[in-house]
Amino acid sequence: MNFDTKAIHTGRFKQDPKSAVSPPIYQTATYGWESLQEEPVPMYTRYGNPTRDLLEKTLADLERGSDCLCLSSGMAAVASVCSLLKAGDHVIAPMDAYGGTFAYLTRELEQFGVEATFLDHSDVESYRAAFRPNTRLVWLESPSNPTLKIIDLAACAEIAHRAGAYVGVDNTFASPYFQNPLDLGVDIVMHSATKYINGHSDVVMGALIWRNAEIGGRLRAYSKRAGNIPSPFDCWLVLRGLKTLGVRMRQHEKSAMRIAEFLASHPRVAAVHYPGLPTHPGHELAKRQMRGFSGMVAFEVEGARAEAESFTTKTRLFRIAASLGGVESLIGYPPVMSHAMLGEEERLARGVTPGLLRLSVGLEDTDDLIEDLNQALG
């Protein structure tokens, strides 16, 4: 089956006695035992839930994995991957990573004796040189948040596996519609399902997908102990949103490409970061490892913070908000949103300049969105 069909029909729910077309919500915390010798599976919703099971099966299929674990947020997913580490281990990650991930890899893991090294996102050879005998995890983003850099996932996976390390990839910006990192040799794919996978800005959730059963067993065991699971109702909402993922992603990309081209031609725009543009440094690599360029566009206005903040107050359709991937268009200012927890020097080292703005291009009419940006730029 092709992607759109899988999104609708994978794991059709068979257990509902009424044969409901829309899967039921198993809004229960626990399950009855017939006797002490007959433990139900699952026995408790922290361990599993039929609604969540259906979502996990569908996501695993769309990411071409063997199994999936849904979690309470994208950062819960990042923390779960880090549960594979122990004191004394070393992590390699890109400098251009989501601010929350950077903060977790440093301020949280350092107190447990795990050290992280951050590298230029596009320089694969720097990853090879950075390996140590105790390197156990390589964490990647492609496209990255917020500057949309592209890294060679297959090359990084090969380097990591030769050194005996796991490779995890945050695939949130691409979604499984445009990129499947497991096909490129990656071990774990992570999503903030809050974003494109849900697509309606009304759920917070994370997901991990894998093929390696040993990794999966450890991740599931940690989730049972940590209790970082989503509610059945949230799983049902994401299942509903997932059915239109392919349709939505095609329109997100179509509009994002036109907007990126418009911004690139505007005299008040100093730079545009969108891998679909031939001028993007990672354009050719993105064409090789992705099936499209998704709906995120970053750009830098001429001037500095005052000009960027002024722009955000003038848009009428692009609403200021910290998330992305929904049907409505959003504008984010990374220095005070996704990367607010970093110091100014840390932000500048990652390309998060005072003039940087990030657009999540929604599903409104493209001409209306371009008109909105044009009037805001003045």
Quick one: which of 58, 48, 70 has its CA closest to 245?
Answer: 58
Q: Around Cβ 243, how many Cβ atoms within 10 Å?
A: 16
Task: Please check whether residue 194 is in contact with residue 47, taking contact to mean a CB–CB distance below 8 angstroms.
Answer: no
Which one of the listed residues 170, 187, 234, 372 is annotated catalytic? 170
Contacts of 97 (CB under 8 A, 6+ apart): 105, 118, 139, 141, 144, 145, 170, 350
Q: Is-catalytic flag, 195?
A: yes
**229, 232, 225: which is closest to 208 by C-alpha?**
229
- Is 234 noted as a catalytic residue in this protein? no
Type of residue numbered 18: K
What burial class does residue 101 get, using C-beta atoms within 10 Å of its C-beta: 0-12 exposed, 13-18 middle, 19+ buried?
Answer: buried
Question: What is the CB neighbour count within 10 angstroms for residue 316?
Answer: 10
Assigned token pair, 281: 């440094």
Candidate list 98, 127, 166, 177, residue with the active-site label: 98
Token pair of 348, please? 């500048």
DSSP β-bridge partners for residue 300: 271, 356
**Which one from 46, 218, 258, 268 is the annotated catalytic residue?**
46
254 is catalytic: no
Q: Work out the number of other CB atoms within 10 angstroms of the CB of residue 327.
A: 15
Cβ–Cβ < 8 Å for 29, 45: yes
Six-digit token string for 145:
């948040």
Please tell me which residue in 52, 136, 149, 195 is annotated as part of the active site: 195
Phi–psi pair at 334, nearest 5 degrees: -50, -35
Q: Tell whether the torsion through CA atoms of 325, 262, 96 and 333 is positive or negative.
A: negative
Q: How far is CA 77 from CA 144, 301, 305, in A?
A: 17, 33, 32
Active site residue 196: no
Can you tell me the distance from the alpha carbon of 182 to that of 154, in angstroms, rounded to the nearest whole number?
A: 9
Token digits of residue 32: 């009855």
- By annotation, the residues acting in catalysis are 46, 98, 170, 195
